[in-house]
Chain A
Amino acid sequence: MAAPKRKTDIGPPHYDQMLHPAIKANYGKWKSHQNLKPGVLMHEGESGAKVYTVRGASARLISITTIREMCDLADKYCDGFLRYTSRNNVEFMTDKEANVEPLIADLKAMGVPVGGTGSSISNIVHTQGWVHCHSSATDASGVVKVVMDELIDYFTSMSLPAHLRIAVACCLNMCGAVHCSDIAILGIHRTPPTIDHDKLGNMCEIPTTVASCPKAAIRPAMVEGKQSVEVIEDLCMYCGNCYTVCPAMPIANPLNDGISIWVGGKVSNSRTKPMFSKLAIPYLPNTPPRWPEVSDAVKNIVEVYARDAKKYERVGEWINRIGWPQFFEKTNLEFTKYHIDDFTLASSTYNSSTHIKF
C-alpha cells in the first residue's frame, strides 16, 4: 500500500461542503428574521423560504462523545449539518418546522439547555484555565460552569433589558475578549514569579528568559555562584510570559491568585460605540470547586442591572446613564483606590467637571 500523500498549505475545507441545502439555496438572499422564542430563530428568504435555527448551550470544552451525539441529532433532524457560534453554542438548522420541537426535546433530554438568543445571557466565552494552560491564575471551564448554573434562567429566557455578554479569562493575557464584555471575569496573579536558582541555569536559556519580559524587569544575575536571573519586582505586572519560556520561574501563587470582575464593555456599535469593560471588583478569592464569591458577585450585578436598566440598554449604557457612583451604590460594591486608573492616560478617566449627583 502506498503511503498517504502529505500535502501542505491546502487551507481549510471549503464551507460550501458544510452547508445545509436550504442555507445554500438562500445564501445572500435572506430578507428578515424573527426570534420565535428563546433559542429559536426563523430566517426568511426573499423567495419566502424559511429556515429554523435551534441554539443549544455547549461547554466549549467538549469530547468526541458529545460531538458525536450532536452529530446524531443533526443527522436525525437537520439532514446532517450543524454549526457552532462565535460564543461556542451549537446551532441546528432545518427547513422543516415540524422538526423544531422534537429536536428541542431531544436536546433537553441530552442535558443541553436551549436559549441564548435575543435579550438573554448567551454562552460565556472563555479560556483554557487549569485544564490546559501554564499561565492561568484560575480555572476557566469551572468558573463558567458555576456562573452559568446560577444564571441559566437568563440563558433560557429573554427577560433582560438587552443582551448580556459574559466572558472569562484565566489571566491577563486574555485569550478571550473579556476586555469588552458586559461582565468580565478575569483571573489575576498578584505577585511576581518565584525563581528556582538551583534549576534555572540548567532548565532555561537566560537570554531568552530575559527577552521574554515585556517590561524588561528580568536581568541576568549570579546567585550564590550560579547563573540565574533576578526580577525587578516593581516593574513586574504578573503576565507570566517568563514562565512560558522558563519553567524555573513559576508565576502561580495559590495564596494570592484570585479573580477580578469588570463591567460595562460591548463590541456592537448599536446606539453607542464599542466600550471597554471597567473594574467593578478588584479581587475575589480563588475558591474552587464552585467559587461561590464569584457566582454571587456576578448574579448580584446581573440582578441590579435587570431591575434598574431601561429597555434595550446594555450594562455599559446603563452605567453611563446612572453614573459610576450610583453603580457602586446600587450594587453595594466597595469603591477602592484600585478602581482609580494609574496606567497610561489615566488622567483621561478623572472627573474634570462638577457633574455630581447628590
Chain B
Amino acid sequence: MSNTPLIDELVKGPWPSFIKDIKRTAEKNEMCKDLLNLLEMSYRDKKTHWKHGGIVGVRGYGGGIIGRYSDSPELYPGVSHFHTVRINQPAGWFYSTSALRYICDLWEKHGSGLTNLHGSTGDMVMLGTTTEHLEDIFTDLSEHGWDLGGSGSDMRTPSCCLGKSRCEFACIDTMAICHDLTNEWQDELHRPAFPYKFKIKIAGCPNDCVASIARSDCSIIGTWRDNIRQDDAAVAKYASGELVYGARADGKVDIKADVVDKCPTGCMSYEGGKLSIDNKNCNRCMHCINLMPQALRVGVDGGATILLGAKAPIVQGALLSSVLVPFIKMDPPYEEFKELIGRIWEFWDENGEARERIGEMIVRIGKGNFVEEVGCDPIPEMICEPRSNPYIFYEEYFEEE
C-alpha cells in the first residue's frame, strides 16, 4: 500500500499532475521522496510543515536564495533543508533546449530536481537544495553565463511579455528593455538596500499579458501616440465573415455591435461599409484591435505609459499602479526613463519607511507631493477625477505688507 494515500488522489484526473511528476522524479532523488512524505503530512494535518529559517545566500550577494526548513527534520531528513534558488530568466522566458538541459543537469546534481517554471516575479525557481551546495551552484551558473534573481528588499528580477519577438501589438521592445534594465541595475538586484521590494514589469501593449499594472511597483506598458493603422479591405473581410474572431463558432464579427458599440469612448462609427475612427478620442483600450487583428493595428509612434505602485494587500490594502508619465519614448539607452527611476529611488530611499512599498508611500505622502518631488508636473492623466473634499493644504498665501 502507498504511504501517501491522500496526495495519490491528485494523480487522478486529466490536468497535468504535479504529484505524478514528483513521484517519477523521486525514483532517483531522495529529497523528492521526503517531500512527498512531508506533503502527505500537510494534507493529513491541513497545515504547512515548513518554517522560514535563517538567512542563507552566496558570497557577495544579499538576495537570490530563499532559506527553507521543515518542522519535521527527524521524520523526513531529506527535506530538513530545502532552500530555493532563484535564477534570473532570459527575457520573455524563451529557451534553447541546450540551455534548459544545462539547468536540468545542474539541478539533478545539486538539488531536488523540482522547479517552478516560473515564479510569480519571473525567475526560474529551483526548489530544494542545501546550504553546502549553494556556492557550487552559483559558480557553475556564473561559469555558464547565468546569474541569480532578486529577493528581499531589492529590485526584484524584472520580467516582460514576449513583445516584439512574436506579437504585432507590441509598441515597445519589451525584451530588450527588460534585458537592459536588468543589467543596468545588477547591484540593486543582488544587494538589498531599499525600504522594501521593488518590482518592474514590462508589457508591450495595454492588454498587459504580464499583469504589470497589478503586480509591479513600476509598470511599463506600451502604447502609441499616432493613429490606429487600418486596412479597409480586411475590415470588409471581417464584415463578410471571411475572417472571424478567435476561431469561434460565433466568431463572425458584427462590426456595429461587437466593435463600434463596445468602444468605451464612442470614437468609432461604421456607415456604408466604412469604419471610421476618431483617433483623437481613442483611449488605446485595444478592444477593436484585439477583435480584428488582421484589420486594425497599433500605431507606429510607440512608447510607454509609466505607472507606479501596484502591490498585493499586505499592509495597507492592494493597489493597482497609477499613471506617472502618460507617454515616454523607450529607445535605447533609455536615459530619460533611468533618470526618472533614479529620482524615484532616491526619494523612496529617504522617505520610505521600513517595509513600505512605493505605492503605499505615495498614498501616505500624497501623490501630488510625490510627483513634485520626483520632478514631474501634476497633470490630469494622473487621476480619475480631482478631489471632492475641500481639505487642501495650500503651500502659498499672501501676507500683509
Interface residues of A (CB under 8 A from B): 4-15, 17-19, 23, 26-28, 30-38, 43, 51, 53, 57-68, 70-71, 74-75, 80-86, 88, 90, 93, 111-113, 117-119, 125, 127-136, 139, 141-142, 144-146, 148-149, 152, 158-159, 169, 172-177, 179-180, 211, 214-215, 239, 241, 243-245, 247, 252-254, 257, 265, 267-272, 274, 276, 286, 288-290, 311-312, 343-344
Given A10-B147, A62-B117, A271-B287, A83-B94 contact (CB < 8 Å): yes
Binding site of A, secondary structure by majority: helix, strand, loop or mixed?
A: loop
Give the residue name and chain of the A residue nearest to B191 (CB). A9
B312 touches A173 (CB 8 A): yes
- The list of the 6 closest CB pairs from A to B, nearest first, reads A149-B13, A174-B312, A214-B315, A130-B42, A269-B206, A254-B46
- Which residue, B95, B182, B291, B315, has most C-beta atoms of chain A within 10 A? B95
Bits for B1-29, please: 1 = Cβ < 8 Å to A, else 0: 00000110110111111110110110000
* B56 at the A interface (CB under 8 A): no
Supply 30 A–B pairs (Cβ within 8 Å), ascending by A. Answer: A4-B139, A8-B61, A11-B88, A13-B145, A23-B94, A23-B165, A23-B166, A31-B297, A32-B168, A37-B247, A65-B25, A80-B97, A83-B95, A84-B95, A85-B93, A86-B210, A111-B16, A141-B18, A158-B246, A158-B248, A173-B312, A179-B313, A180-B213, A214-B355, A245-B52, A267-B208, A268-B207, A268-B208, A269-B285, A270-B285
The reply on B274 being an interface residue by CB < 8 A is no
Chain B residues with Cβ under 8 A from A139's Cβ?
Answer: 39, 42-43
Which parts of B294-337 form the interface with A (CB within 8 Å)?
294, 297, 312-318, 320
Q: Which residues of B contact A75 (CB under 8 A)?
A: 97
A43 to B165, CA, bound (A): 11
Residues of A within 8 A of B164 (CB): 27-28, 30
Q: Are B95 and A63 in contact (CB under 8 A)?
A: no
Quick check: is B120 within 8 A (CB to CB) of the other chain? Answer: yes
Interface 0/1 of B154-186, CB less than 8 Å to A: 000001011011111010010100010011001
**Chain A nearest CB, measured from B351 CB (Å):** 18
B142 and A7 within 8 A (CB): yes
Residues of B within 8 A of A129 (CB): 48
With a cutoff of 8 Å between Cβ atoms, the chain B residues found around residue A241 in the complex are: 314
Given known pairs A62-B115, A267-B213, A269-B206, the reply for A15 and B14 (CB within 8 Å) is no
Q: Let me know if A63 and B92 touch, CB within 8 A.
A: no
Stretch of B99-107, B339-347, B368-376, B390-398 contacting A (4+ beta carbons < 8 Å): B99-107
CA distance A118 to B117 in the complex (A): 22
Which among B42, B52, B206 is the interface contact of A247 at CB below 8 angstroms?
B52
Given A67-B100, A81-B95, A215 and B315 touching (CB < 8 A)?
Answer: yes
Q: B115 and A118: CB pair below 8 A?
A: no
Q: How far in angstroms is the closest Cβ of chain A from B158?
A: 10
Asked if B115 contacts A64 (CB within 8 A), the reply is yes
Contact A130 B39 (CB under 8 A): yes
